[in-house]
Amino acid sequence: MFAPLLIAAALSSSASPLIPQRDSSRPIAAGRQRLQSSRYFLKIGQSDIEIDIRLQPSPLQVDGVLAWVRRAAESVTTYYGRFPVQRVRVSVAQIEDSDESIHGTTWGDIDGFQGVSRMTLGAAVSETDLEADWTMIHELVHMGIASLADEHHWLEEGLATYVEPIERAQNGQLPAEKVWRDMVSGMPQGEPQRGDRGLDRTHTWGRTYWGGAMFCLVADLEIRRATENRKGLQDSLRAIVAAGATINNVSTLPPILHIGDQATGTTVLSDLYQRWKDTPVNLNLDQLWGDLGVRPRPN
């Protein structure tokens, strides 16, 4: 048993978001014939976020989009203790397709920006959809770790999958029960299937996103066990950000894991990677949830 439960340790944080109380955004460009196009600036601690917004004629307003980006930036800042990089560009474009889709991609070191996220919204996306959305936070989480080789893409995506709901819970945007419910339903998708050759060599959707998230969950638990719950994965990730091993830099995986291990005084991340990188490892998830005190129930 883990005491106190991870639900208390991982889903709470004393860090204060470095978001100004008043909106510091300001438009500097007017719209074209159909698209409402504007540029805004958001200051978060030592970080500057440039936000380009292009909207179709629709009920969705610029203020709703700005609040969406701000909430995501606030959650990321709370989790890492700072925003991962100092100069950021977020591009939000609404397409003409009448759907409610929200998609995002993120890169590092483009056109003088350390991190760039490009978001596309369907024409039917509403402010309510943005309030419930996880995609913006998922993309900004990517900025907190260096760009890795293709065989390590599972950690980039798995980390964002695992951290995103915890960030939202720490910032009061998501109830803890929802975090656990989604973990219980999602983690089995990360289990190795027939023919699996380990995380570095198996690049299916399930192994990349949920297999990577499962690595993060097990690492979090093993760090807490080794440190008597004084440290967790969040401490490792904060150290990685503080060391500047962020998306604007390219790195191999072992040095990144070493930084995280030093922050917790363990070798959990490096050891777990050696066990999982080229060997399929199956977990008894039912036992894991039981040990944590998580009790799945109907509905």
CATH number, position 55: 3.30.2010.30
Backbone φ and ψ of 271, nearest 5°: -70, -45
Same domain, 138 and 280: no
Of the residues 144, 160, 191, which one is the last residue of a structural domain? 144
Residue 26: both structure tokens together:
């300001």
- What was the pLDDT predicted at 37? 72
Of the residues 99, 127, 144, which one is the last residue of a structural domain? 144
Same domain, 285 and 165: yes
Same domain, 135 and 168: no
- What was the pLDDT predicted at 4? 34
Q: Examine residue 218 and state whether it is found in any structural domain, yes or no.
A: yes
Q: Which residue, 272, 183, 202, 282, is CA-closest to 233?
A: 272
Give the pLDDT of the chain (299 residues) as one tens digit per residue.
333 334 444 554 433 333 332 333 333 333 334 556 789 999 998 999 999 999 988 889 999 999 999 999 999 999 999 999 999 999 999 988 778 899 999 999 999 999 999 999 999 999 999 999 999 999 999 999 999 999 999 999 999 999 999 999 998 999 999 999 999 999 999 999 999 999 999 999 999 999 999 999 999 999 999 999 999 999 999 999 999 999 999 999 999 999 999 999 999 999 999 999 999 999 999 999 999 999 988 76
Same domain, 264 and 119: no
Q: Examine residue 21 and state whether it is found in any structural domain, yes or no.
A: no
Q: Examine residue 235 and state whether it is found in any structural domain, yes or no.
A: yes
CB 171, CB 80: distance < 8 Å? no
Same domain, 158 and 10: yes
Q: Examine residue 31 and state whether it is found in any structural domain, yes or no.
A: no
Cis peptide before 4 (omega within 30 of 0): yes
Q: Examine residue 84 and state whether it is found in any structural domain, yes or no.
A: yes
CB 261, CB 243: distance < 8 Å? no
Q: Examine residue 30 and state whether it is found in any structural domain, yes or no.
A: no
What is the reported pTM?
A: 0.86
Same domain, 181 and 57: no
Same domain, 124 and 158: no
Q: Examine residue 297 and state whether it is found in any structural domain, yes or no.
A: no
- What was the pLDDT predicted at 45? 85
Same domain, 179 and 140: no
Same domain, 207 and 268: yes
Q: How many domains does the chain have?
A: 2
Same domain, 238 and 138: no
Q: Which residue, 167, 160, 168, is CA-closest to 139?
A: 160
Of the residues 144, 173, 202, which one is the last residue of a structural domain? 144
Q: Examine residue 259 and state whether it is found in any structural domain, yes or no.
A: yes
d(CA 290, CA 299): 18
Same domain, 198 and 106: no
Give the domain extent around 267. Answer: 6-14+147-292
**Residue 17 vs residues 80, 132, 146: alpha-carbon distances, Å:** 10, 20, 23
What type of residue sits at position 94? Q
- What was the pLDDT predicted at 16? 32
